[in-house]
Amino acid sequence: MPVSAVDLSGELALALVSGALLNLTPCVLPVIPLKIRTIIHHAGGSPRRRIEAAIAFAAGTLLFFLAIGIASALLHWTWGVLFQSPWVIAVLVAMMASFAAMIFLDISMPVPGFAYRTRGGRHLEPFVSGVLAAILSTPCTGPFLGGVLAFAITQSPPTVIAIFVFVGIGLSLPYVVILLRPSLLSHLPRAGEWSDRLRQALAFLLLAGSVFFAQSLVSPDFGLWLWRAWAIALGLWAAVTALRSAGWATGVVVLGFAAVALSTSYAGGLLMPPQNGPLHWRPFSTQRLDAAERMNRPVLVEFTAAWCINCKILEKTVYVDPAVVGAARQERLLALRVDLTRPNQFLEHLLVKDGGAGLPFAVIRNREGRITERFPGIFTSASLIRAIHQASATSDLTG
């Protein structure tokens, strides 16, 4: 439907803010090492080189979002649809693993001959960094982004494209500012052993991202062993580095980083066989939804995918919270899971029909089958518990 200039300007401003906030989501976390490397490599250069690097980084991000915006406007793609392609994930995994090796070994990115001939060799890394940051932002929705995308899908193609471009501008803006104002990094200690160890630690973070996305391409057992191999490599690196460090402080920091990373991986269930969870999730089907209505039971429907990092965070935190489990049992809640790891036209239509525009997304249906609460993006246990009880209370009042 048509939108006024005032409403459009407000949505574009919200798209800009939501794009900037995407930098705080776990989805973008794996590419932070590459961004830091890009900033460090160019922060000490001349003003012209820094401006060129900032333009290259922003261009990589905006080019991707422009392409996604056009595809969304003309082909009605939903947010994150690229990750339903195994080929896209395979290329992404290869890129992230390659960049992790480059960062760990501190080697420069190979530059094709045509880039040298056009004097664009030094711009390739910030450009690729911008593209990769944009790609990794698409599996998940950050704050405000769910509402922005829900608005976008109801608008004309030019409006959809403009909103996606503004999301890209917001995503790239913090790094462009740092590249243009390197004085913001002036309080960092001088380069030395600490910076080498930080670089190697960040390489393991990027490698963890590649392992995460690789899970959707392999069997669960093989994915589990990939995580265990990563954990063993991290532990060995930390032990050897601590023993060889010139000062005790570096060794303590390295061991602390490894301890936090390994304990977080263990607590997140990455190093153990997957569990169904205390909510006893069942695959979504319309038959189960109808049966829940006949049995007068409220329903939680989660839209998720193997490549959605924010989805996994919710599944390891909110959905296993004892208070959430207690509320679900008290209200006899049925938990259904919609898996969008691979393309499924029916389930994608269901996502849009229920008011979602990306992952993660969840809805609460009351005992009559009516949606009483929607959860785009990450949410808290308290909000879910409140929605579960309100769904039952609404049912009681209408029943």
Contacts of residue 177, defined as CB under 8 A and 6 or more positions apart, other chains included, come to 184
d(CA 231, CA 212): 13
Please report the domains of the chain, with CATH numbers, ordered by start residue.
Answer: 5-267 (no CATH), 282-398 (3.40.30.10)
Confidence at residue 336, expressed as pLDDT on a 0 to 100 scale: 97
Residue 228 CA to its chain's centroid (Å): 22
Cα 308 from chain centroid (whole Å):
6
Q: How high is the pLDDT of residue 387?
A: 95
Name the token pair of 40.
Answer: 């460090």
Residues 5-60 have pLDDT tens digits of: 657 788 888 889 888 888 877 777 777 777 777 676 665 667 787 888 888 889 99
The residues, ordered by sequence, that sit 6+ positions from 335 with a Cβ below 8 Å of its Cβ are: 279, 280, 281, 282, 299, 300, 302, 319, 328
pLDDT per position in the chain (399 positions), as tens? 455 565 778 888 888 988 888 887 777 777 777 777 767 666 566 778 788 888 888 999 999 999 988 988 887 776 677 788 899 899 889 988 988 888 888 876 654 444 444 454 567 778 888 888 888 887 766 666 777 777 777 788 888 899 999 999 999 998 888 878 766 655 555 556 667 888 888 889 889 989 999 998 998 889 999 999 999 999 999 999 988 887 777 888 899 999 999 998 888 788 888 777 799 999 999 999 999 999 999 999 999 998 888 888 899 889 999 999 999 999 999 999 999 998 898 999 999 899 888 888 999 999 999 999 999 888 999 999 999 999 987 655 454
Question: ∠ CA 313-201-64 to the nearest 5 degrees?
Answer: 60
- Tally Cβ neighbours within 10 Å of residue 397: 8
Q: Half-sphere exposure (CA, 13 Å, Cβ side) for 272?
A: 11
Contact assessment for residue 149 and residue 76, using Cβ atoms and an 8 Å cutoff = no
Q: Which of 197, 206, 338 is nearest to 281 (CA)?
A: 338
How many whole angstroms separate alpha carbon 187 and alpha carbon 183?
Answer: 8
Encode pLDDT of 338-370 as tens digits. 999 988 989 999 998 998 888 889 999 999 999
* Alpha-helical runs (H) found in 76-219: 86-105, 113-117, 121-137, 145-152, 157-180, 193-214
Structure tokens at 335: 């938990």
Give the separation between CA 372 and CA 388, rounded to whole angstroms. Answer: 9
Whole-number Å distance between alpha carbons of 337 and 305? 10
The span from the CA of 126 to the CA of 120, in Å, is 11
Label residue 22 left, alpha or beta by phi (over 0 means left) and psi (-120 to 50 means alpha): alpha
Burial of residue 40, with CB atoms counted within 10 A of its CB: 0-12 exposed, 13-18 middle, 19 or more buried: middle
Residue with tokens 């023993």: 243
Q: Which of 227, 167, 156, 230 is nearest to 19 (CA)?
A: 167
- Please state, rounded to an integer, the average pLDDT across all residues of the chain: 83
Per-residue pLDDT tens digits for 239-250: 999 888 877 778
